[in-house]
């Protein structure tokens, strides 16, 4: 079972086919046609925050309305709800200025669509198997390069499918840990002649990122028509699952519990930045909490070289052109197609930090451009303290020049909210100097009386 919002998120990330969602949405409407308001509200919200495109939103809306119209024709019209009004409201959410704007919450008295009969984990696995079966050499049980046995699907993303694999050479050598992770890239890469060269260079750069908080990439290879990465196999759970299952129900984690995770993620990004690499798609789904307690950053698949660095390795193909950005975590500059900058990753890291501490996204999962245009401000987190909230808001700034310049600065400000800025230290210095000056004046005023008293004492002694 999954919520309709989670299903829309899975659709946006390529983990769920639109046809599958349409089927389950239709079933939910058939069971209770009154949830039409809620369905349209979710679609409007997903479109406005950039989660789904207008065409996708319109397709889902049209199917929902057709379903309810069919029920209406058979005497099943939702009580108190007009199909015409619903249609005009949904159109308004997609840009029709002549229609009434659809509210983001269902009107009072109308039903809310809750969980739908859909297992996203199984659906994602089935979709990956379907995609894999299109190419005979890619499926569970296949062997790539006569070496890597694909044992099970670990996850499906916008750029490919990740498998747990067994390295048969390690098995032959009786290695106690023969498992690796293999990311098989999807068909979109075959449409770009320079994709293989560019991604080979990206993999080479990540191989240089030897850091305890970054998943190790071993190699980038091709088996017939299949392009894949071999990576360190990690046993644990993705951060997005951890947020959904453990953080959100608690309304966020205490700072002492959340900060070690934030620090580990930040240290990984800071190390990459030191090597002139911006992750460019940092989000909870690309982070992992291992069973041993380690924090790992994954998937530098669309990582980009910082402008002016390593120009010799630039190609005409930009991996980010494959559309793998996640609107809820991408900075305004990334969404606008500007050159990469470490502050793009800092924005994404601050979004994740805010979620860990509050259980919710700072801008309600709306895109950064939407947040900037509507002057949205992240709500204060209860119990966090003003200093740490200030540190979060600075890192979440919707204009790059106003954003925290480095990951190290963000972690320092977040960890020690009492740490003062140079301006504050200067002000304290001025106050201290004034106090010393005042003390000196007092001493000088008292000095003549002391001098006049001393001869009388000596005279008495004589």
Residue 90 to residue 302: CA distance in whole angstroms: 35
According to DSSP, the β-strands at 217-223 and 179-185 are unpaired
Q: Helix crossing, 342-358 with 386-395: angle to 10°? A: 140
Task: Kindly tell me the sign of the dihedral angle through the C-alpha atoms of 300, 55, 374, 389.
Answer: negative
Backbone angles phi, psi at 382, to 5 degrees: -60, 130
Residue 117 to residue 18: CA distance in whole angstroms: 15
Residue 198 to residue 316: CA distance in whole angstroms: 9
At 218, which helix (H) or strand (E)?
strand 217-223
At 142, which helix (H) or strand (E)?
none
126 is a catalytic site residue: no
Residue with tokens 């630039």: 314
CB contact set of 358 (below 8 Å; sequence gap of 6+): 251, 252, 379, 381
Q: Is 156 exposed, middle or buried (0-12, 13-18, 19+ CB in 10 A)?
A: buried
Torsion of CA 100, 102, 103, 105, to 10 degrees: 150
Q: Terminus-to-terminus CA distance in the chain, angstroms?
A: 104
Radius of gyration of the chain (CA): 29
Residue 10 to residue 96: CA distance in whole angstroms: 27
Residue 327 to residue 315: CA distance in whole angstroms: 25
Q: Around Cβ 134, how many Cβ atoms within 10 Å?
A: 9
Angle of CA points 342, 238, 415, to nearest 5°: 50
Query: 3-class DSSP state for residue 159?
Result: coil
Name the catalytic one among 126, 194, 219, 281: 281
Residue with tokens 């930009």: 318
Question: Which of 207, 202, 208 minimizes the C-alpha distance to 185?
Answer: 202
Catalytic residues: 281
């Amino acid at each position: 079972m999954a919520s309709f919002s989670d299903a829309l998120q899975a659709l946006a990330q390529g983990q769920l086919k639109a046809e599958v969602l349409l089927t389950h949405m239709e079933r939910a409407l058939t069971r209770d046609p009154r949830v039409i308001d809620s369905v349209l509200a979710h679609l409007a919200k997903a479109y406005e925050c950039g989660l789904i495109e207008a065409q996708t939103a319109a397709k889902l809306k049209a199917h929902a309305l057709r379903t309810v119209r069919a029920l209406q024709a058979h005497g099943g019209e939702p009580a108190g709800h007009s199909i015409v009004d619903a249609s005009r409201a949904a159109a308004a959410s997609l840009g029709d200025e002549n229609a009434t704007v659809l509210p983001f919450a269902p009107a009072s008295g109308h039903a809310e669509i809750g969980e739908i009969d859909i297992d996203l984990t199984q659906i994602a696995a089935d979709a990956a198997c379907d995609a894999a079966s299109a190419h005979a050499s890619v499926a569970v049980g296949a062997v790539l390069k006569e070496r890597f046995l694909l044992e099970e699907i670990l996850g499906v993303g916008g750029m490919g499918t990740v498998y747990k694999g067994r390295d048969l050479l390690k098995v032959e050598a009786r290695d106690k840990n023969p498992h690796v992770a293999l990311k098989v890239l999807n068909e979109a890469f075959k449409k770009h002649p320079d994709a293989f060269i560019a991604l080979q260079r990206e993999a080479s750069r990540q191989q240089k990122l030897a850091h305890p908080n970054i998943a190790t990439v071993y190699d980038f290879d091709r088996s017939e028509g299949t392009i894949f990465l071999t990576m360190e196999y990690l046993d644990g759970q993705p951060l997005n699952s951890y947020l959904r299952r453990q953080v959100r129900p608690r309304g966020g984690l205490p700072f002492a519990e959340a900060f070690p995770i934030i620090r580990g993620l930040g240290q990984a990004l800071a190390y990459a930045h030191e090597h002139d690499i911006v992750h460019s798609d940092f989000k909870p789904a690309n982070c992992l909490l291992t069973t041993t307690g380690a924090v790992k950053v994954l998937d530098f698949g669309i990582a980009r070289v910082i402008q002016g660095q390593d120009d010799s390795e630039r190609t005409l193909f930009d991996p980010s052109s494959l559309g793998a950005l996640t609107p809820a975590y991408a900075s305004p500059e990334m969404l606008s197609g500007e050159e990469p900058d470490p502050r793009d990753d800092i924005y994404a890291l601050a979004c994740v930090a805010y979620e860990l501490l509050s259980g919710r996204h700072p801008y309600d999962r709306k895109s950064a451009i939407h947040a900037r245009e509507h002057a949205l401000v992240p709500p204060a987190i209860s119990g966090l303290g003003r200093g740490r909230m200030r540190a979060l808001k600075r890192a979440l700034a919707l204009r790059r020049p106003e954003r925290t310049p480095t990951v190290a600065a963000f972690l320092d400000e977040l960890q020690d909210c009492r740490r003062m800025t140079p301006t504050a230290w200067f002000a304290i210095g001025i106050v201290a100097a004034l106090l010393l000056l005042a003390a000196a004046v007092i001493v000088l005023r008292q000095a003549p009386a002391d001098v006049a008293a001393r001869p009388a004492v000596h005279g008495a002694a004589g």
